[in-house]
């Protein structure tokens, strides 16, 4: 299960990068991601759609929990002497448990329509796709710097 969590985090990071892009680029990137996924995992379009629907739903719910967690931690950092610091820390721990539950639920959903082989291929795909996406974003950022910025 631990081996599943790291790739999932990479997926979430890559999806957050997708959300930071303009809509047209986001749509185009999603099309490319879907086609590459279908090729890498040998699934049909309906299965790919189902997969990315599950990915996107899971991403949204985890991002919401992460925002709550960040708000709690920011509060604790700003107010270390507040009387409710322990409560905020306990809420944060509960949120971390909820995040883990969401990841387990996501995995359970994927198992309903992907074979074990496809699950493995999906994880490998997501790691490679996230790595390549990060590489391309970094490359694009470097290309937009002025010569004296380097």
pLDDT digits (tens, 9 = 90+) for 7-41: 544 555 455 555 554 566 688 889 999 999 999 99
146 lies in some domain: no
What mean pLDDT is reported for the chain?
86
pTM for the model: 0.71
Q: Domain limits at 23? A: 2-141
What distances in angstroms separate CA 144 from CA 26, 62, 139, 140, one per listed residue? 19, 32, 9, 6
Name the domain count of the chain.
1
**In terms of pLDDT, which residue wins out, 122 or 142?**
122
33 in a structural domain: yes
Residue 147 domain-assigned (yes or no): no
Exposed e or buried b for every residue in 112-134, given b needs 16+ CB within 10 A? eebeeebeebbbebbbebbeebe
Percent of the chain's residues with pLDDT above 90? 67
pLDDT tens-digit readout, 92-115: 999 999 999 999 999 999 999 999
Whether 150 is covered by a domain: the verdict is no
The arithmetic mean of pLDDT across residues 34-56, rounded, is: 96
């Amino acid at each position: 299960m631990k081996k599943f969590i790291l790739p999932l985090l990479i997926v979430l990071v890559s999806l957050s990068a997708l959300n930071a892009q303009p809509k047209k680029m986001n749509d185009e990137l999603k099309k490319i991601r879907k086609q590459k996924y279908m090729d890498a995992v040998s699934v049909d379009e309906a299965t790919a759609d189902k997969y990315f629907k599950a990915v996107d739903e899971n991403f949204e719910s985890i991002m919401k929990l992460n925002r709550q967690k960040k708000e709690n931690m920011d509060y604790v950092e700003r107010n270390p002497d507040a009387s409710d610091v322990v409560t905020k820390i306990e809420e944060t721990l509960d949120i971390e448990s909820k995040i883990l539950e969401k990841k387990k639920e996501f995995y359970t959903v994927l198992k309903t329509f992907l074979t074990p082989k496809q699950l493995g291929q999906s994880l490998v795909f997501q790691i490679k796709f996230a790595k390549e996406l990060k590489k391309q974003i970094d490359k694009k950022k470097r290309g937009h710097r002025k010569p004296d910025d380097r």
